[in-house]
Structures are given as C-alpha cells and as structure tokens.
Structure 1
C-alpha cells in the first residue's frame, strides 16, 4: 500500500500541472496553513486557491518524495524535492514539507511549506 504522501502529491502535481486552482484548494483542509514562495503564511482553502490562481498556467512541477512518516491513523507527512519550471527555461528548486490529516474526505494537506534551494546548494 502506498503512503498517503505519494497519493496526495500525485494529485497535487496533476492539479498544479493542469493549472486547476480549485482542485488545488480542495487538496487542503479548511484550516490549512500554507507558505509558498512569499514570506507570509496564509490560512484556509480560499487563500490557497488565490495563491495558485496567481501562478502562470504554463508552470509545471517535478516531485521527488524523500521521506515519509505516519503518526497514528489520522496524521502523516513527509518531505519532497520539487522543481518548478516553465517553457522559457525558468526553474526554481524547493524543499517541500507537508503535514497531512485524514478526515471524512480522505487525506488532505494541513500544513504546506516550501523553501527555495540556493543556487549551488
């Protein structure tokens, strides 16, 4: 059986690559904490949707899951390396960490954080 991190990130990648902000927001809990490229932490599905609506629709993500963990039956998470890119050659490498929570809707993202990988690092 696959770890929930693999499933959630597979759905996240499909929604991101398809530029579907509504589908992205549905992957998150209603009270999710989210920190993307900006310095501010935002909360909730509406903030997540707004963040992804602002992402150019030609961006894609390559995801490599590095580590997963499970705490009981309702909490899981892990770490991944993600490379965002677009057809112009723009690229941004990040470390991603997720905390997942299982509820009546399945596994969803409770906490999302990315940090850019410095050039040469």
Structure 2
C-alpha cells in the first residue's frame, strides 16, 4: 500500500468536517471545507468556488448522510494530498447511492481544505 498514516490522517480531518456538515445539512459549512477556488464536480454540472458548492449542497435533500472509506492516498507534495474514496450517500426516501470520490486536499494558511472534488457513479 502506498498510503501513509499521516496522509490518511490529513484526509480524515478534512473529510470528517465535510461529512459532519453534509449530515447536518449545513451547505455553507460544507463549502467552508473547500478552498476559495476549488474545482467541484458532484453529480450535476461542475462549479468553481465556495458559492457554487454551497448551492449544490443546499439542493440536497434533508436527511442525506455520507459515509466514506479512504481507499488510497498519495502525497503529491508537502502541501497536497490525493485521496480516492468510496462514499455511500444515504437518503430517507430512496436507496443509498454508492460513488467513488477523488479529492485533492491542500494545506493553506487556515489548515487543510479540499481544492478538487470529483464524484463518479459506481456501475
């Protein structure tokens, strides 16, 4: 395995904040997990920046929750970590959606934030 404990810890700190905000249906707090210029590709057309990310999560149904698993991680540089994850999004009124998620987290003045986020459906 090419993942280090430190790389996984970096990813977990950022993704635990993301998950907590997703589960609480707090779109602005979700967006705050991202860099100002983050490239975001959910299951709708992509956006760049926190306002579009907050709008995306505001459109998600209340009661949606996320459970993630870090499958792989790579340290790209001192200030960048790549993560490949499996994520299960659960809903109150429909089946769970299983996806892959690729993220790049970046260290900046305020700590680590997501700078790139791309979801793909399993299947």
TM over 0.5: yes
Cα-to-partner distance string for 1:67-120 (whole Å, 9 max, x where unaligned): 1111222111211100111123421100000011100010000000000112xx
Task: Tell me which moved more, 62-71 or 83-92.
Answer: 83-92
Structure 1 stretches of 4+ moved >4 Å: none
Q: Within 5 Å, give how 1:90-101 maps onto structure 2.
A: 90-101=95-106
For structure 2, list consecutive stretches of 5 or more residues without a partner in the other structure: 1-5
SS at match of 2:92: coil
Q: Aligned partners of 1:7, 1:79: CA distance in 2, in Å? A: 15
Conservation of the 8 A alpha-carbon contact between 1:3 and 1:68: no
For structure 1, list consecutive stretches of 5 or more residues without a partner in the other structure: none
Normalising by structure 1, what TM-score?
0.91
Normalising by structure 2, what TM-score?
0.90
RMSD of the alignment, in Å? 1.2
SS at match of 1:51: helix
Which residue of structure 2 aligns with residue 19 of structure 1? 25
Which residue of structure 2 aligns with residue 35 of structure 1? 41
Which residue of structure 2 aligns with residue 69 of structure 1? 74
Which residue of structure 2 aligns with residue 115 of structure 1? 120
